[in-house]
Amino acid sequence: MNWIESFTSKNKPIVALAPMDGYCDSAFRAVCQKVAGGNIVVFSEFYSADGLHHNPLLAKRVLVHDPIEHPLVFQIFGNTPEIFLSAGKIIESYGAQGVDINMGCPAKKVVKCGYGSGLMVDRDRAMKIVNILAENLSIPVTVKTRLGWNGSDELVEFGQALEQAGAKLITVHGRTYQQEYTGNANWEPIFELQKNVKIPVLGNGDCKNYEDGMKKKWNLGGFMIARGSLGNPWCFLPENYEPTWQERLDVMREHMERMVATKGENRACLEIRKHFTHYLHGFEGVKEYRKRLAVVTSLSETENILKELSELDVLHLETHK
């Protein structure tokens, strides 16, 4: 039974950490999955299929992971079917539970190469990529895309073609390519797609937390949470769970320790800073500590600051609910 079947067989909504470039590395995925009690699926930040195919060192650096992250799906981008297959087999060999094809990134440098959202308008190539992976991998192949290029009129047809090509699940971001990340996400066309395919469809866009996702999902197979998870891995828990101050600091510490273990102390100190800013957003009396964490240079320095923070009596001004 694959990870999709394990959710659907129990009639459970699929709740997922959305792939976010620069955030969804092994450390963050592990923290989210651990806080969620193993009840979600985590998607990686996107990686180049060409890079994984040509560079074994890249594969070793980004695909090694902690089993606590399972179920784990790696997302890849590119536009060459044979290269996708090579990258997919490499991902499979590292013990991942799935491969996700990026057909939604709106970044111009990505799209001009025919990657990401560019595959929405190169459908023959898009279907060949899905089909070659589906026919040659033992793990499910999924797709993340958008409503369309400048509208949603062709979403159902596109989704049906993806299903026929072998996709086992489709996630749709409720904005078009031309919208990028502006305006509000529109889930209505995503509901319509789910009516017209047999595979699960996940909604994505402006989903703050579990309760918000459950209200939004209607007929969908589930939903993804993206920016709502930053600094708030508790967003995947029901009933708008709000952690204690000490729980928050403990997770910050673990996040840092995991990042040091996977990336080394120097790189971890640079990359953890943006996470710390999110973790401490909305708290009174921590501005100076947040500034210090934004320039932290060692694990020991981080631990000292967190120890100081643990001794504060802090009022949460802006909850993550």
Mind listing the pLDDT tens digit for each residue in 242-280?
A: 999 999 999 999 999 999 999 999 999 999 999 999 999
The one-letter code for the residue type at 290 is R
Burial class (CB in 10 A: 0-12, 13-18, 19+), 309: buried
CA distance 92 to 96: 6
Question: Can you give the length of the chain in residues?
Answer: 321
Amino acid at 3: W
| Alpha-carbon span 272 to 95, nearest angstrom | 26
User: Hey, which residues are catalytic here?
Assistant: 105
CA 149 distance to own-chain centroid:
22
Burial of 257 (0-12, 13-18, 19+ CB in 10 A): middle
CA distance 213 to 185: 13
Amino acid at 24: C
What is residue 20's three-state secondary structure? coil
Q: Does residue 128 register a pLDDT over 80?
A: yes
Using pLDDT thresholds of 50, 70 and 90, give the confidence band for residue 313: confident
Dump the DSSP string for 192-222: HHHHT-SS-EEEESS--SHHHHHHHHTTSSE
Task: Name the H helices within the chain.
Answer: 3-8, 26-35, 49-54, 56-63, 81-93, 108-111, 123-136, 155-165, 188-195, 210-217, 245-263, 265-279, 287-293, 299-310
Question: What pLDDT score does 301 carry?
Answer: 97
For residue 71, whether the previous peptide bond is cis, meaning omega lies within 30 degrees of 0, is yes
CA distance 110 to 21: 13
For the chain, list the domains and their CATH numbers.
Answer: 3-236 (3.20.20.70), 245-310 (1.10.1200.80)
* pTM of the predicted model as reported, rounded to 2 decimal places: 0.96
pLDDT digits 0-9 by tens, 91-125? 999 999 999 999 999 999 999 999 999 999 999 99
Where residue 320 falls among pLDDT bands split at 50, 70, 90?
very low
Could you report how far apart the first and last alpha carbons of the chain are, in Å?
34
Give the helix/strand (H/E) hosting 102: strand 98-103
User: How much is the mean pLDDT over the chain?
Assistant: 96
